Structure 1
């Protein structure tokens, strides 16, 4: 870590929060967890940050029961205007805590402070306000059906959009404020209730969201916040008969386990899972813009993001220029403590994750990938790992097929679209992607060929509350954000009305 990139001290509010009691929110009450103690580490310093107590299985039952009482009680019958007002007050409370939430996120998972602020502002506050507006716009439709054998009778069909029920939400550690809001806001706007399990590696921002809910006057039982490990509380949520839907973001492997557990009561499941997203650069692209964008498409968040453009397909005409440019750009990125002003890449979340990424680097070398950039080891505490760039990567190599979830970018050379099409869809994933070209026809043609939930043209990973987000194939089920994100928490009831004989 550069000596002049010194971390700033957290605010008094952040320090006071870290020193406070870390409890669970169940039925509007703060209670001590009855499960295992979870030690929270600052990954930039490898020092203890806080301790939280996990919920017991009995406390999960209590939270679900309270959520069901609230669902059957006033909340699901609350008008959209009132639900929207509650959500707007919730957004106000988060906004008042924005700096504390951002600092805690940085200390919790290592993200650069500027990124933590952006996630809290644009993926949390703005998303909650967006769905607050949707709460008054949930409506069905009416139509006259074609009843075939009963042509002499007049019927009218009215459809009703109703909340899907009690939702269990399981969020990851890489961007908790955004991940929580993307599930919580549409669920509550739809009239559902929610039990949230925080990420055990970064649980603290979840508590700040729960505090904001209480400060906003959120009704008891509508939102519960639990800490816990995935293998016990998370697994129990997926199998719980009192939960009607699971909304999960995490790895594809865990997503499969959730689907299996959910079959007990055939609960609905939405999954935002892993990715191995392609970035495609054609020879007519604005290379000066594409190089830094392609670099950050992978290295943003130290590669610990599902949309990471970790497979870079470069036309042979500009291949060497792009590889040299990305190597120079990535080498200049400052790696360090997220609380330091100049930091662009923070630490890996844990020693285990760092070791996993290093194992993939070794595998890639063994498979014959060429090292275009490998950052020097960083002295001192912290799970730091600098950018790594491989060229000469071939389709089918493990580094090209498997999600690394770290700062490792693989470059694949191509000469024509025929070979490109098969390669870009040659993994099990289909989450994101981008195409870089000045030719509109090429851009749209290749964008159509990429089998993923979203594709950028001369941009990568553009997200907004209005834009649907989600994966195809083994990158997930369903969509978050946009109108589609609201639909995931609603069910449709058709009411057929016999008006009587036709005159």
Structure 2
């Protein structure tokens, strides 16, 4: 059962006069799930006004009370995990096991920031006798949060939980493809006692909503996860109002595989890291730079494992990988494969869409991919791995850095000295050594270069929602 999405403003559902046609689709079947309500300019303004009205009382709520509400919301998410995960799989396509994992991770994020709500410390600065100098931390104000479809629960949670913990109120604009999951998260907050207006959820025409929110003087800060091109446009819109921005943008993660690895372990880790959520992960491992001594065995083992992955509807317990998010993605991936082959790459596994009513694509492995192939520069955002050999580590590090993106990178090696050298050399915000786990509730997450700026998660995740006020008493 998929619940009809509604706008959520000032703690209550809001009716709209306009609906989009066929916008919420099950990517495993191509079947329409629901018609999405389109927020009018009046709806957008009402959401901003509700967040603005709720800001002062929420910001003055005792941190212990804010903490309790976030904690209770996390409890409700775990109690409602099965229903939330089912809706997430329906609208996103990921396997039910992955969906349950994401909802659990989302609850962990709320638990983490429930603790951080009590730790927004200022400091007393040593000063001359008779004076006192204090640095206070105060919430920045109402914020706008814009989250994507690939992880609709946890990316929204990192923004919403941190903002509420800091004492800010929120207007959340989730992806139109996956409205049910963030709405369910917001309902958990309201049922946990969050005051009306502290969380508002709106959908509609993304450009229209973004422009309206960016132009609103009440919105003090914006947190966005999405494409680099949209991020640039939002930065332009934010400039006149000097709004604070946190940008988590595109990635194209490299993996450096050294010749000292246990090959079977390295392959198991790599294949799982590549094909999670059908490769639709901003930190997904995509460009594999493999030492020439283990290159042939790595390609063969990777392709063999990829061909054994069972692709199917995420609600089928036997499925190991679900569909792509929309009907545009399979042909886009086919074009990347065709371009790579025309440049000299070899298809070691997969390479084409799977004929069905859904948006499925074969787990794909490309070998001997030259640097001029588009897939080495463009994030495929799908189940496609590009593998190339290297001889010298410096060359691998240089090739890994030779793109505009710098979100995540990985290395597989048994040498701690080599690992430190790779960590120093890679120009990314996140580095995984012998792991493809790039994020946890208690850790900071963010990129450099065209992958954006600022971090979310961890104790650092609270900072961008706070302003520092210096007080000097004589």
The TM-score, its normalising length taken from structure 2, stands at 0.97
- Alignment match, 1:482: 458
The unaligned stretches of length 5 or more in structure 1 are 1-14, 147-152, 499-503
Aligned mates of 2:389, 2:426 — CA distance in 1: 17
Instruction: Give the CA deviation at 1:433.
Output: 1.1
Q: Does 1:78 align with 2:54?
A: no
Per-residue CA deviations over 1:299-327 (Å, capped at 9, x if unaligned) read: 21111110011000000000001000000
Instruction: Determine the C-alpha separation between the residues in 2 that align with 1:182 and 1:381.
Output: 34
- Alignment check: 8 A CA contact 1:251 1:273 kept: yes
Deviation at 1:202?
1.3
The equivalent of 1:50 in structure 2 is 34
- Write the distance in 2 (CA, Å) between the matches of 1:63 and 1:494: 32
**Residue 188 of structure 2: SS of its match in structure 1?**
helix
Whole-angstrom distance in 2 between the partners of 1:38 and 1:162: 43
| SS of equivalent residue, structure 1 residue 346 | coil
Please give the per-residue CA displacement for 1:213-263, whole angstroms capped at 9, x wherever unaligned.
222121011000111232221332233322111111111111111101111
Gaps of 5+ in 2: none
Tell me if the contact between 2:406 and 2:449 (Cα under 8 Å) persists in the aligned partners. Answer: yes
Structure (1 or 2) with the larger CA radius of gyration: 1
- Structure 2 residue aligned with 1:109, among 74, 86, 92? 92
- C-alpha change, 1:163 and 1:219, in structure 2 (3 Å) is same
For residues 110 and 128 of structure 1, what CA distance do their matches in structure 2 show? 24
1:127 to 109, 115, 123: 109
Q: State the Cα distance separating 1:429 from its structure 2 match.
A: 0.7
Helix, strand or coil at the partner of 1:380: coil
Task: Check if 1:354 corresponds to 2:330.
Answer: yes
Distance 2:4 2:388 in 1: 50
Aligned equivalent of 1:280 = 256
Name the residue aligned to 1:138: 120
2:389 matched residue in structure 1:
413
CA RMSD of aligned residues (A): 1.5
Distance 2:419 2:459 in 1: 26
Give the equivalent residue in structure 1 for 2:417: 441
- The CA distance in 1 between the partners of 2:194 and 2:386, in whole Å, is 47
Q: Which runs of 4+ in 1 moved over 4 A?
A: none
Which secondary structure state, in structure 1, belongs to the residue aligned with residue 289 of structure 2? Answer: strand
Instruction: Tell me the number of residue pairs that the alignment of Structure 1 and Structure 2 aligns.
Output: 473
Structure 2 residue aligned with 1:11: none
Shift in alpha-carbon separation, 1:266–1:34, aligned structure 2, 3 A: farther
Deviation at residue 34 of structure 1 after TM alignment: 3.9
